[in-house]
Amino acid sequence: MTEVIGGDRADARRNRAKMLSAAGDAFAEQGLDVPLVEIARRAGLGAGTVYRHFPTKQALLEAVFTQHLDELIASGERRAAQSAATEAFFGFLLDVVEKSKRREHLCDVVAADASWPRPMLTASVLRFRQVLTALLHAAQRAGSVRADIGPDDVVALTVGCVSMLASRRDRAAGHRLVQLTLDSLRPSAVVTEGQYFRDSPDIRRDTVTFCAECKAPLMVRPTGRPVRYCGAACRQRARRRRLAS
Amino acid sequence: MTEVIGGDRADARRNRAKMLSAAGDAFAEQGLDVPLVEIARRAGLGAGTVYRHFPTKQALLEAVFTQHLDELIASGERRAAQSAATEAFFGFLLDVVEKSKRREHLCDVVAADASWPRPMLTASVLRFRQVLTALLHAAQRAGSVRADIGPDDVVALTVGCVSMLASRRDRAAGHRLVQLTLDSLRPSAVVTEGQYFRDSPDIRRDTVTFCAECKAPLMVRPTGRPVRYCGAACRQRARRRRLAS
Amino acid sequence: MTEVIGGDRADARRNRAKMLSAAGDAFAEQGLDVPLVEIARRAGLGAGTVYRHFPTKQALLEAVFTQHLDELIASGERRAAQSAATEAFFGFLLDVVEKSKRREHLCDVVAADASWPRPMLTASVLRFRQVLTALLHAAQRAGSVRADIGPDDVVALTVGCVSMLASRRDRAAGHRLVQLTLDSLRPSAVVTEGQYFRDSPDIRRDTVTFCAECKAPLMVRPTGRPVRYCGAACRQRARRRRLAS
Amino acid sequence: MTEVIGGDRADARRNRAKMLSAAGDAFAEQGLDVPLVEIARRAGLGAGTVYRHFPTKQALLEAVFTQHLDELIASGERRAAQSAATEAFFGFLLDVVEKSKRREHLCDVVAADASWPRPMLTASVLRFRQVLTALLHAAQRAGSVRADIGPDDVVALTVGCVSMLASRRDRAAGHRLVQLTLDSLRPSAVVTEGQYFRDSPDIRRDTVTFCAECKAPLMVRPTGRPVRYCGAACRQRARRRRLAS
DNA sequence: TATGAATGAGTCTTCATTCAT
DNA sequence: CATGAATGAAGACTCATTCAT
């Protein structure tokens, strides 16, 4: 952790806050390559002052990231305390995605852990994982999230969602996509057999059947007469073919 | 398009290929900020040679991106010709994700179109969209993809999947996530009501009911006796609880 | 104008001066193509420091040029205040030529305005023109400079003189040439009719006499009483002098 | 001198001519810094071919310069043969200035002899000097050029004139300036006493008389018997003429 | 032999970091 | 202690010259 400078002096603390805020904005708007002097300028401070607080640009970046995580942690704890498990979990994920939207660059950092192993040891990172894990497990106990999902899956999913938001210009459409993606976590979601990927053999397959006409997956219906087609259209089409032959 | 240098000289063409390959690797491994001399070194060439072929680092990047797209286009056309609509579409998406895995940085380029508007006019980009759109529409006609999905949604979804793969270290787990996410496109996928996002009011809600036991969303069944549980397991569980009380 | 860096810090101002001086020397000795690091080396500073003060090599060049002009302006104003019109004007021109001697490259810049239109709007350029024009007009009113000469002619003439000085190795001989050339501006100078140049064909031959007062050339009048003065003003002035003595 | 390549092959000679022409244009339009490939492109040849003919860019430049001189030499010889001394001399100077107009960069080369001592040994340079000197002396013998002018003065003057033309946008005005300047060479021209340079503010006013033989200006001698000749040589020459008639 | 592709030294410019004011 | 000036290593890009085709 960065040694906090002048922890006892009000102005120093205010300066630190200004820097973090300015850095957050700057990274969001101009990417991680934004010059440090630009951050200092936004904060209304000198470059030297920034260095007094953060010995390295890297350190500043980590601090911004940590602050971001802390906000998410607070959000997660609030939701855990106030909502039922399912709402808490999904609400938290939406929070994470939404709040990270303007900070995709931070996600780059998370994604590229090879180049940045240290922050993974940070207290905030650990606490974030704890909160996430607790919410996840609660939701799983409540039956609203598939049992075969782990915290890492959730993190990866949210990272992906942030990317989606970033690449989908239409705001509303982006949100719908995120919704769609997060709902993949629900138990009803069907996982197509994973034969496409060349080298991932051991993916457990749910018991899926497919439309006899269009090969679309059919919902599981343990009882009753099994469906053969995904809908009226396919049934009709199959019929036509049968008659033709 | 970059003027191709030395189209008639075998060595020049070979060098161009070496550069593109080296650049692809370098961008993948070290990010878009990789020095050009590093790319030249990997290609076993001088920096000046790279500049002779690509007048700008940007131009080189675009060429790599274009080549990548061209591979995807070929893959898509092959699948469209050889497979049924559904397999073609989902197989194509998996191809896109898989092949882009080591090239997430290119996705950054796609994502950040504001800063890079020109390539969007490239022939390859247009062709890619055409292929994607054709596959999508075929799959939708076949009933295996939701009707309310457009090409931009699909692109964004794949971009997100690539991010997921990048952030999920476990290879198999990453693939499973991708599978899960892509399956969101299938008509059976349920979209939770989008009330979480502050400002996306107009998301059409499907009429969803939930499992009385586990709260999982249930498929719409307009006719017949409404289902109350998502499956046998839940029905049994509910029964047990009822007996216990 | 270049934003002046560190206006309040003594060392920064001293450094700025060192840079301008070093740049002036470097441009004079090695031409405009002198590497910026060479300038930095001469100034005893780092290249980055030069860039902090002048965002571009161009900007540095302009600053040197402006400083040069400012010196000339000061010289012109001093002379205008202290000397009679004729002495002031010719003295100024000699100053301009002499001081620009080691700075011919700057003249290149002036000459090549097509490639460098902006500095022409500079305050210093305008002021220089003002001073030059004022001195010229005063000298013309005093009768010591031909009436058909404009400021642009004078500038071009001095530019030419600088070139002469540069190409004439012998210092004294160079000065004599300049003297000769500048004296072309005096009314007594004879202009051969310009039949040589393609587009001014008819040359009248010169039996020339001069105004007894101001030495301006008098038109040939083969018959009748020869004129002695170029006009009423000179005749009157001569009369006054005769009466005074 | 550059070894002429393929002197026996017609195409090689044609190529050489194309190169020289292209180089002349390129230097004129884009300055001496024009890339060699640009010259090759203008000539419709490969860069390697240019190098086959001229081992160095410098060598090419010298060849262009030499060709330029050769044209001027031819012009001078033609005029010497066809015109009277005065017309020949001044016509030649106007030719030099006019033809060098688009080639000021070559003049830079002449001006900057420190950096380029070798071409001064070139046959063409020597021949040019010879022609110039002959024309000058003839004109001086004819009494139309001051006796105190040497070949170097004339060269410097023309270099200056080229600069004037370059810096005076108005074509006609430029030509008039050149005329004015070249006429400084005529004996009637008044040279103000050259004490201005460096720091001599009080310009003594000029009551100037001229040498009765060579028209050179005579120094003011307020008292005593007025001098009529600039020196013993002229006095003697005048005496001889008197005796002859 | 002509061509133009390859080379790499050299230039401008940026920016993280240090240090004098 | 805050400031912002100085630093110099590093990166993009150019071009004279060489050399393989």
pLDDT confidence bin for C207, thresholds 50/70/90: very low
Chains that touch A (3 or more CB pairs under 8 A): B
Residue D84 sits at the chain C interface (C-beta within 8 Å) = no
Residues 115-134 of D with CB under 8 A from C: none
The overall longest dimension of chain A from CA atoms, in Å, is 88
Cα end-to-end span (Å), chain A? 74
**Model confidence, pTM:** 0.74
Backbone φ, ψ for residue B198 (5° rounding): -55, -50
CB contacts of D168 in chain C (<8 Å) are: 152-153, 156
Residue A196 within a domain: no
Verify that D45 and D119 share a domain, yes or no.
no
Identify the domain boundary among A167, A191, A215.
A191
Per residue in A48-107, pLDDT (tens digit) is 999 999 999 989 998 998 899 899 999 999 999 999 999 999 999 999 999 988 776 766
- For strand F, list residues 82-121 of chain B whose Cβ lies within 7 Å of it: none
Verify that A84 and A186 share a domain, yes or no.
yes
Residue A199 within a domain: no
CA A174 to chain centre: 14
Closest CA to D231 of D245, D219, D242: D219
CB contacts of D98 in chain C (<8 Å) are: 197
- Those residues whose C-beta lies under 8 Å from the C-beta of residue A73, and which sit 6 or more positions away, are A124, A127, A128, A131
Q: How far is C224 from chain D (nearest CA, A)?
A: 25
Per residue in A209-239, pLDDT (tens digit) is 445 665 544 443 334 455 666 566 667 777 7
Verify that B131 and B91 share a domain, yes or no.
yes
pLDDT confidence bin for B7, thresholds 50/70/90: low
Per residue in B153-189, pLDDT (tens digit) is 999 999 999 989 988 888 899 999 999 999 999 987 6
Residues 38-77 of B with CB under 8 A from A: none
Q: Where are the alpha helices (H) located in A56-84, listed in sequence order?
A: 57-82
Which of A120-134, B117-131, D219-233 has the lowest average pLDDT? D219-233
Please give the tally of structural domains in chain C.
Answer: 3
| CB–CB contact A163 B167 (8 Å) | no
Residue B196 within a domain: no
CB D93 within 8 A of CB D136: no
pLDDT at position C126 is: 83
pLDDT at position C124 is: 84
Chains that touch C (3 or more CB pairs under 8 A): D
Verify that B81 and B165 share a domain, yes or no.
yes
> How many contiguous H segments (helices) and E segments (strands) does chain D have?
10, 2
Strand locations in chain C (E) = 209-210, 217-218
Measuring alpha carbon to C1', the residue closest to nucleotide E7 is: B46
- Those residues whose C-beta lies under 8 Å from the C-beta of residue D178, and which sit 6 or more positions away, are D94, D97, D161, D164, D165
Nucleotide nearest to D54 (CA to C1'): F17
Long-range contacts of B99-103 (CB under 8 A, 24+ apart): B99/B68, B99/B71, B99/B72, B99/B75, B100/B68, B100/B72, B100/B158, B100/B162, B101/B162, B101/B165, B101/B166, B102/B28, B103/B24, B103/B27, B103/B28, B103/B68, B103/B162
Residue D198 within a domain: no
| CB–CB contact A153 B171 (8 Å) | no
Q: What CATH number corresponds to the domain at position D122?
A: 1.10.357.10
Question: Is pLDDT of A18 > 50?
Answer: yes
Verify that D84 and D185 share a domain, yes or no.
yes
Per residue in D23-81, pLDDT (tens digit) is 999 999 888 899 999 999 999 999 999 999 999 998 999 899 889 999 999 999 999 99
Verify that D90 and D187 share a domain, yes or no.
yes
Question: Is pLDDT of C125 > 60?
Answer: yes
Q: Which residue segment(s) compose the domain that A225 sits in?
A: 204-244
pLDDT at position A11 is: 80
Residue D106 within a domain: yes
Residues 189-218 of C with CB under 8 A from D: 189-192, 194, 196-197, 199-200, 208, 215
pLDDT confidence bin for A200, thresholds 50/70/90: very low
CB contacts of C179 in chain D (<8 Å) are: 191-192, 194, 196
**Alpha carbons D58 and D63: distance in angstroms, whole number:** 9
Question: Is pLDDT of C113 > 70?
Answer: no
Q: What CATH number corresponds to the domain at position C30?
A: 1.10.10.60
At residue A217, the 3 state secondary structure works out as strand
Residue A119: exposure state from Cβ atoms within 10 A (0-12, 13-18, ≥19): middle
pLDDT at position C46 is: 94
Verify that B120 and B219 share a domain, yes or no.
no
Residue B198 within a domain: no
pLDDT at position B39 is: 96
Verify that D79 and D147 share a domain, yes or no.
yes
pLDDT at position C4 is: 73
Residue D80 within a domain: yes
pLDDT at position C75 is: 94
Question: Is pLDDT of A197 > 90?
Answer: no
Count of Cβ atoms closer than 10 Å to residue C33 Cβ = 10
Residue A237 sits at the chain B interface (C-beta within 8 Å) = no
Q: Closest to B202 (Cβ–Cβ): which among A155, A172, A178?
A: A172
- Following DSSP, what letter does each residue of B40-97 receive, concatenated? HHHHTS-HHHHHHH-SSHHHHHHHHHHHHHHHHHHHHHHHHHHS-HHHHHHHHHHHHH
**Alpha carbons A151 and A137: distance in angstroms, whole number:** 9
**Alpha carbons C72 and C103: distance in angstroms, whole number:** 13
Structure tokens at A145: 């999230």
Q: Closest to C191 (Cβ–Cβ): which among D98, D156, D179?
A: D179
Which of A207-211, B90-94, C206-210, C223-227 has the lowest average pLDDT? C206-210
Verify that C81 and C140 share a domain, yes or no.
yes
Round to a whole number and report the distance in Å from the CA of A39 to the C1' of F5. Answer: 18
Q: Closest to A216 (Cβ–Cβ): which among B86, B150, B166?
A: B86
- Following DSSP, what letter does each residue of B175-222 receive, concatenated? HHHHHHHHGGGSTTPPPPP--SSTT-TTPPPP--EE-TTT--EE----
Closest CA to D39 of D16, D66, D20: D20
CB C216 within 8 A of CB C222: no
CB B170 within 8 A of CB A200: no
Residue D234 within a domain: yes
Verify that D48 and D67 share a domain, yes or no.
no
Verify that C49 and C142 share a domain, yes or no.
no
| CB–CB contact B172 A220 (8 Å) | no
| CB–CB contact D152 C160 (8 Å) | no
Torsion angle, CA of D112/D113/D115/D119, rounded to 10 degrees?
130
Verify that D82 and D171 share a domain, yes or no.
yes
Sign of the Cα pseudo-torsion (B128, B96, B92, A215, in order)? negative
